[in-house]
Amino acid sequence: MDLAFDIIPDERLKDAVLRLSGNAQAEITRAGAYSLYVLVRRHVNRYSRAHHASADNLGAEHTGHLEEGSRAIVPPADNVLSIPIPGFQRVFKDLEISPRTAKALTIPINRVAYGKRAPRLQSEGWRLFTVSTRGGGPGGGILFGRRGEDSAATALYALSKSVRVRQDRSMLPSDEDMQRAAAKGVANAILRRSR
Amino acid sequence: MARPEDILRVKALLPTTLGSEEIRERIAADILRRSVFSARMASAPYLADLREVLVQYASGEVNRADATLALTRSLEQLGHSPMDGNAITNPASQQRLDLILKTNRQMAASVARIEAQTPDTLDDFPGWELMRFSGRRVPREDWHRRWAAAGDAVGWQGAARHTGEYPEWSFIALKSSPIWAALGSGAGGFRDTLGNPYPPFAFGSGLDWDDVERDRCEELGLLQPGEQVTLGKASLAPDAAEVADMEKRYGFDAGEDA
């Protein structure tokens, strides 16, 4: 997800920067963007290390999806910060997730399935089969698995036509904190050039 | 400025029958940094698939579950199966695929981070702190020894001796300090490093760099007020000629935003 920021929202600062050469403008924008990136990366990592409810509820090993994603955030060259974390858009709005090619979403309900696609489990030797639940939700059903003919069937995934994930604005710092960070980087860069 | 996915996209394929120890001993670290390889993986088509998946994973286009599935399918065509066990020696094991995906993504991000440094950013944030970004079930507890060995190896140039004990430790050095290269080379005899002067500093490590503000670096005595830090380029990043060559070969524009 790409986040575009107004690195220099203050009109007087913007005027001062616009009077400088194109190179200097780009450098100052980049300095502000870098300060913003440092704040955002720290915040996303702190958030990620405190949010493992899905895995913990299943007793599953953490995938580290958000933690690893925060490590992958890199400084931007301009005012667009890229957050390479699938689904991060929910910082700004609820997400309605539907299957891209399959008939239903597979939502892990067992730690064995957590962090893995159903075909991967099949490759690991699981035989998967569905049992429709009477009165289940839209497209509802359970994907069971059995590993080895003598083993008991295990409920692995809940099937659903779609899932709504609620917005969580706290995945990013506040707008004020982000503006303050960018402004600090910009101000420092301007001061350095006026010495 | 190259993004991690661009850095991965231009890596050369390095099919090899060598094991990881032999790779480390026989192939120069600089070549490894510029290559997509996997221990005892001689299939160039699989490495090409791996490179493409790494690009998608690094950009956030796919998550790790989807990346793992794509690689599983590619490996199955070569006769490799997760059913052969979860040891790291099995190319199709979850353990192996996780390590490859995470390590390559992190390395590319580290290089992009180094490449992004400018005189302004080095003035505002002249240091890096090595800290835990990703939790581990069984974290290494010898980082203070690694840091001490690396620091001793370079005479603590630009680096602060560690403070605190795990997990309240503190490993801070200037971005220009040679301690980072010493840490990555396994100073002190550590054999699980990757030979890079940037994170990850050991296989499967959950530690990464966080920027350190100038005030803190000055408090630690790492530099004087007004003193400037300069940084060399990371050798993983392609130069302009290499990017142009890859653009011609693969038909993409590394300079355009997605």
Q: What pLDDT, in 10s, does the model give residues B87-115?
A: 989 999 999 999 999 999 999 999 999 99
Distance of CA A92 to the CA centre of its chain: 11
Output A169 or A148, whichever has higher pLDDT: A169
Q: Are B24 and B195 in contact (CB under 8 A)?
A: yes
Mean pLDDT over residues A20-28, rounded?
Answer: 89
Q: What integer pLDDT is reported at residue A139 of this predicted model?
A: 46
Q: What pLDDT, in 10s, does the model give residues A50-62?
A: 888 788 878 888 8
Residues in chain B: 258
Name every chain B residue with its beta carbon within 8 A of the beta carbon of A120.
65, 68-69, 72, 82
| CB spacing of A64 vs B135 below 8 angstroms | yes
Task: Categorize the per-residue pLDDT at A90 as very low, low, confident or very high, splitting at 50, 70 and 90.
Answer: very high
Q: What integer pLDDT is reported at residue A21 of this predicted model?
A: 85
Beta-sheet pairing, B35-36 with A105-108: unpaired
Looking at chain B, the whole-number percentage of residues with pLDDT higher than 70 is 88
Distance from CA of A125 to the nearest CA of B (A): 6
pTM metric for this prediction:
0.89
Q: How far is CA A60 from CA A108, B90, B96, in A?
A: 10, 23, 19
Q: What integer pLDDT is reported at residue B253 of this predicted model?
A: 47
Q: Is pLDDT above 70 for A119?
A: yes
Q: What integer pLDDT is reported at residue B23 of this predicted model?
A: 86
| CB spacing of A115 vs B65 below 8 angstroms | yes
Q: Is pLDDT above 80 for B164?
A: no
What's the ipTM? Answer: 0.89
Q: Which helix H or strand E contains A67, and what residues bound it? A: helix A65-71
Q: Is pLDDT above 90 for B197?
A: yes
Q: Which helix H or strand E contains A43, and what residues bound it? A: helix A22-50
Q: Is B88 exposed, middle or buried (0-12, 13-18, 19+ CB in 10 A)?
A: middle
- Read off the tokens for A98: 């539907």
| Backbone φ/ψ region at B118: left (φ over 0), alpha (ψ -120 to 50), beta | beta
Q: How far is CA B65 from CA A52, B29, B57, B251, in A?
A: 17, 29, 10, 28
Q: Is pLDDT above 90 for A113?
A: yes
| CB spacing of B105 vs A125 below 8 angstroms | no
**CB within 8 Å of A81: residues ≥ 6 apart:** A2, A3, A5, A33, A36, A37, A40, A73
Q: Which of B86, B124, B175, B231 would best serve as a mutation to test chain A binding (most A beta carbons within 10 A)?
A: B124
Q: What integer pLDDT is reported at residue A61 of this predicted model?
A: 80
| CB spacing of A63 vs B65 below 8 angstroms | yes
Is A83 in CB contact (< 8 Å) with chain B? yes
Output A168 or B235, whichever has higher pLDDT: A168
Distance from CA of A38 to the nearest CA of B (A): 7
Name every chain A residue with its beta carbon within 8 A of the beta carbon of B83.
123-125
| CB spacing of B120 vs A189 below 8 angstroms | yes
- Read off the tokens for B63: 């998550």
Name every chain A residue with its beta carbon within 8 A of the beta carbon of B79.
none
Is B61 in CB contact (< 8 Å) with chain A? yes
DSSP class of residue B160?
P
Q: What pLDDT, in 10s, does the model give residues B17-66?
A: 888 888 888 887 778 888 898 988 989 999 999 999 999 999 999 999 99
| CB spacing of B123 vs A188 below 8 angstroms | yes
